[in-house]
Structure 1
Amino acid sequence: MDEVWLALRFEEHRSHLRAVGYRMLGSLSDADDAIQETWLRLSRTDADSLENLGGWLTTVMGRVCLDMLRSRKVRREESMGEQHLPDPIVSVVEGTDPEHEALLGDSVGLALLVVLDTLTPAERLAFVLHDMFAVPFEDVALVVGKTTAATRQLASRARRRVQDSTPVPDPDLARQREIVEAFFAAARGGDFDALVGLLDPDVVLRADTGVGILKVVRGAAAVSAQALSFARFAQASMPVLVNGAFGLVNAPKGRVQSVMSVTVTNGRIVDMYILADPSRLERLGRELSRD
């Protein structure tokens, strides 16, 4: 197969492969690295012999991501459990971004990505490829190097973890925005009781400043105690969509300093995420400036 033609065929699958990589890795830059490696493997393969190029690319992308997850796990163990929030997908509230829509697909929220990050690499692969992209278990088994039955068990364990640990957000964006704005109004007014009332008793706040230590605060009272910093956050913020949910970007003088996303369920905030990693925010600022 002509290399130019092969490259064109590969480009037809790029957005799909990036969606696979994002769910597998939670990192846009790592997903792009995995896509590049998948292309290199395709270029070394007799593409004329491939009956289903899309299926072949998906499984190869999965294998590359699996190797990256296993390497990441080793690095975390060597660095005393270094952790980061997944990369957020930020879009303007008004209008749609086709690239972001293709990447998110069935609304992959940060809460889901955080749960996926707690799975073993093999569990994550089995769940993502089978449950999210309908890859047959027989094909997934070849990637993880296990029997089909064992691969089904991997996906089943992952599925239970996802179902038990991933909150289902309220679908009404206007309602989400109302709750978040009420939270910041209570923070500015120092109304502790109102803050607690807007939070689920088991709310979890996760903050990533890029130093490898993920700050985690649990419980309505403890999260409310952080409210003064949230009030300052809101002063130079603009509303955005973060992985399809309502969020805020803090950008004084046009420079992105942090991104906040929340999960609102049954009228209360159950999860809060703050990304303040300068290196990732620099790229995010460039993306927002293009929107």
Structure 2
Amino acid sequence: MNAVAAAAPASSSRRRLDDPWLLSAPALALFACLLLVPLALTVVLSFQVFDHKTGVQAALTLSHYGAIATDDYYLGIFWRTFWISALVTLICVVIGAPEAYVLSRMRAPWRSILLLVVLAPLLVSVVVRAFGWSMLLGPQGIVNNAFRWLGLPAMRILYTEAAVVIALVHIMLPFMIIPVWTSLQKLDPGVEDAALSLRASPFTIVRRIIFPQVLPGILSGSLIVFGLSASAFAIPGLLGGRRLKMVATLVYDEYLHELNWPLGAALALTLLAANLIVMLSYNRVVERSYKKAMG
């Protein structure tokens, strides 16, 4: 009896030590300190009154969110941010999915070489890449010099939406290729050969075999690309210039130039909420389409 009684507390203490909540408590505490606490402080700041003479006041107001929802200036910037992000995502899908398929069918050492080429942009700072694109797309850059050599008039590309889209596609493309390539790794090439032996058309193979396998990778890659593009700062700031603003550059201006921290916090939280709504809605629509395709 004494041995059984001694074993019971030991087993209960062992279960307490194996409790998932206790094991994850340090990570949860770190997560709360680094993300949840700053986010909560930002929420409180976004409701505070701002006066250009005295700064941030202790009083609370909804005027910042009201201005964002009613002012055409802010609405135009949000619209520009999201349509550029959607266009970048679409271009990355069109380019990245076929490239990932080619990558999945290559053999060593060419697969490793192409994978290194795909990941190479991630090894260089975003600021360095932005300056590189500014040199390529500038009035005296390689692109315009090529136009002049061909007898075509020079084009104004730098400080336009086209420059921002081109640079964002270059930066975000690896985030589309890698998830799609990972999804294709689960697909046995013999399934395609079997479909061909049964006289299935290439379109049928893509629709019935490849597309259902690629869709989860496209979904995850699209969410990553859209979210990162909508919150991008360096590329719009350096290639878009002072006039072509996106939400991230506007938040920067409100914080550091206008010193209107509450409005900057409200803009940042509105961008976060809009991003979540768009991404969750997109996720739901694609998941329904995926279930119908698999059904």
Q: Give TM-score scaled by structure 2 length.
A: 0.21
Higher helix share: 2
Higher strand share: 1
